[in-house]
Amino acid sequence: MPEKIKVVVNEDRCYLCGGCAGVCPTLAIEVHSTGWEFLQDKCISCRICINACPVGALSAKPLEVSE
């Protein structure tokens, strides 16, 4: 099993293009006109979104057991 991660966004870089939401296989990211949202319960830690962002706005943090 890959390490469980939490995906975080750098809001200074993200321009809300929706690309990450489009490639996420489990719809764990939602991009609205008002902002970027991560749904931890749906994420399977595949990291596809992180590699897909054209401006490198996404990064992974280890998911603490208590979170």
Q: Does 11 help bind ligand SF4 (rule: CB under 6 A)?
A: no
Q: Least distance (Å) from ligand SF4 to the CB of residue 5?
A: 6
Helices assigned H by DSSP within the chain? 19-23, 48-52
Give the amino acid at 35: G
For 28-56, give one letter per residue: b (16+ CB within 10 A) or e.
bbebeeeebebeeeebeeebebbeebeee
| 30 strand-pairing partners | 37
Q: Least distance (Å) from ligand SF4 to the CB of residue 52?
A: 6
Where in 12-41 is the site for ligand SF4 (CB under 6 A)?
14-20, 24, 26, 28-29, 31, 36
Binding site for ligand SF4 (CB under 6 A): 7, 9, 14-20, 24, 26, 28-29, 31, 36, 43-49, 53, 55, 57-58
